[in-house]
Amino acid sequence: MASRTSRSKAEHATAAIRPIVRVTPHEVHIKDSNYYDEIYASGKRRREKDAILVAQFDLKGSAFSSVTPEEHRQKRSNLEKHFSKQSVTNMEHLIHENIDKLDQHFKRAYESHKAVTLDAGFAGLTSDVIHKYAYGINSGNLDHEEFNEKVRDGINGLFKFGHISYFFPIIQTVMKSLPLEWLEKIDPFVYALRISKENVTHQTKEFLGGKSSNSKPRPIMEIITGSDMPEHLRQLEGLSNDGFSLVLGGTETTARALTIAAFRLISNENMRKKLREELRTVMPTPDSRPTWSQLEQLPYLSGVVSEALRLSTGIASRSPRIAPTEALLYKDYTIPPGTRVSQTNYFVLTDPEIFPDPHAFDPDRWLRAAAKGERLDRFMVQFSKGTRNCLGMNLAYAELFLVLAAFVRRFDMELFETTEKQIAFVRDFGTPYPDEGNTTVRATVTGVIKE
Ligand code: HEM
């Protein structure tokens, strides 16, 4: 399959005439890490998304697809409180329950000497957590013997299909009207996308009809579809698409960050030992269950999490903003109001002026920066910035801290038939992909830590 955008092609294109390039007739790209906050601004500085660009994802009526700040605020405020730091802290037990399941997989793999596919395990975990939190259902990925290798098919479908439907919007209507059995044969990824969307719509409809999940605490979608919510917000399409963006956003990005970290930690024994020693302070035994808040205090683990987020990139594609009433000033340039302006997150996250030797996974860079009083976190744009930043970032952080702590404190692993090639960012389909297939890391479990 042809790649959507080759990373190196994009790098060369923007490097040639940096830092400001008109990348399409309607969009200006500014490659300057210090200018990011101007484009992705918050507060009173009005920023909109582009209606044509968001339409490619077919998530009508959702917070993600809102164009104006007013519409966005109304939709997002409904969801936001469930992803505050406090709310995520309150649902930590859900993450722990799924870590326990992953743990059992790794212990069985140790006994059977079979290789485990870590990326599928991590995507299974993030998907099971968000399904339970948002819908109160067990999506059961971690109950499969080999995890659920197909868990990411729907997401792949969305990103790959979104690119085509951006240029040919009519194709969305065609794909929706095709019988499922035909669609399965034509494109298994778009088929998986339609199945997951139909499931989410079905669940949302049931909640809107008054069904109770009997889950404690009540799942987010049950709360926001409740009869006590304002009627104009209780619309099936918008709510289903909000639920679908949670499920989509909550799976692949965090799983990829976990996979990149796992690859580096398995490959580097010194790093693993250093982290394990630090973890012993809050995990006296391998089975200890530290809290996210305890783990966040650990400087080396924090460095590992930051490097995982930085080098996994998050969203690879450009996501422009429009300042509808403000002319943006960049050096000698005045960008007229209404222009799409973007900056690719990857360029900031690997800017050698800010992160020397940018492709090295180096948790210590965070400790060195802190000792010098440097604020590298200002350039951590993987969750974007401003009013349209990531809704689920606290959940992503909690999962990263809790899963990586258990992974390193409890197991030793060796890579199995996996090289840098399988984790490299070569193709951009919304999130980064290697040359072929998904980001994949396979490993054998060589030790279960006893003390
Ligand atoms: C490492 C993990 C993650 C990364 C790197 C990430 C990255 C991002 C980015 C860059 C955006 C802005 C997209 C844009 O410009 O349109 C975004 C938005 C969003 N993310 Fe995440 N995300 C992550 C995890 C999550 C999780 C766990 C959830 C689920 C709860 C989630 C749900 C969303 C939603 C719903 C939006 C749309 C927010 C809005 O427009 O108001 N993300 N994410």
Query: The domain 21-448 belongs to what CATH superfamily?
Result: Cytochrome P450 (1.10.630.10)
Nearest CA to ligand 1 atom 16: 319
Distance, CA of 210 to CA of 66 (rounded, Å):
27
Residue 389 alpha carbon, nearest atom of ligand 1: 12
Domain spans of the chain? 21-448
For residues 76 and 80, what is the distance between their CA atoms, to the nearest angstrom?
6
The rounded distance, in Å, linking the Cα atoms of 116 and 442 is 6
CA–centroid distance, 249 to ligand 1, in Å, is 5
Q: Are strands 333-335 and 328-330 parallel, antiparallel or unpaired?
A: antiparallel
User: Residue 443: helix, strand or coil by DSSP?
Assistant: strand
What's the CA-to-centroid distance between 286 and ligand 1, angstroms?
A: 32
CA of 413 to the centre of ligand 1 (A): 30
| DSSP conformational letter for 65 | T
Q: How far is the CA of 90 from the centre of ligand 1 (A)?
A: 20
Determine the atom of ligand 1 nearest the C-alpha atom of 382.
5
CA of 273 to the centre of ligand 1 (A): 32
Question: What's the DSSP call for residue 6?
Answer: B
Question: What amino acid occupies position 80?
Answer: E
Other residues' Cβ atoms within 10 Å of the Cβ of residue 61: 18
Cα 315 to ligand 1 centroid, rounded to whole Å:
8
Ligand 1 center from residue 257 Cα (angstroms): 13
Q: Pick the atom of ligand 1 nearest to 242's CA.
A: 35
Residue nearest to atom 7 of ligand 1 (CA): 383
Q: To which residue do tokens 């974007």 refer?
A: 384
Strand partners, 24: 27
What is the Cα–Cα distance from 251 to 240, expressed in whole angstroms? 17
Which ligand 1 atom is at minimum distance from the Cα of 64? 40
pLDDT at residue 63 in the model: 96
Distance 382 CA to ligand 1 centre (A): 9
Block residue for tokens 């240029």 = 167
**Protein residues whose CB sits closer than 6 Å to any atom of ligand 1:** 63-64, 76, 130, 245-246, 249-250, 253-254, 257, 309, 314-315, 319, 382-384, 388, 390-392, 395-396
Mutate to test the pocket of ligand 1, among 59, 133, 390, 402 (most ligand atoms within 8 A of CB): 390
Residue with tokens 């109770």: 212
> Is the backbone peptide bond immediately before 19 cis, with ω within 30 degrees of 0?
yes
Give ipTM to 2 decimals.
0.98
321 alpha carbon to ligand 1 midpoint, in Å?
Answer: 15
- Probe residue for ligand 1, chosen from 253, 321, 341, 384 as the CB with the greatest number of ligand atoms within 8 Å: 253
Binding residue positions: 390
Quick check: helix, strand or coil at residue 287?
coil
| Predicted TM-score (pTM) of this structure | 0.94
Annotated binding site for heme: 390
CA-based nearest residue to 98, from 308, 446, 306, 406 = 406
* Closest protein CA for atom 5 of ligand 1: 314
For the CA of 314, the closest atom of ligand 1 is 5
How many angstroms separate the first and last alpha carbons of the chain?
A: 48
pLDDT for the residue 4: 47
Condensed to tens digits (0 to 9), the pLDDT of residues 58-76 reads: 899 999 999 999 999 999 9
Q: Which atom of ligand 1 is nearest to the CA of 133?
A: 30
Integer angstrom CA distances of residue 188 from 117, 180, 183, 303: 21, 10, 7, 38
pLDDT of res. 185: 84
Look at residue 12 in the predicted model and tell me its pLDDT. 57
Residue in 277, 354, 276 with CA at minimum distance from that of residue 310: 354
Element (H, E) at 69: helix 69-80
Residues in the chain: 451
Output the CA torsion 267→269→274→275 (10° steps).
40
Please give the number of the atom of ligand 1 that sits closest to the Cα of 251. 27
pLDDT computed for residue 2 by the predictor: 34
Below-70 pLDDT ranges, the chain:
1-17, 163, 165
Give the contacts of 74 (CB within 8 A, at least 6 positions apart). Answer: 233
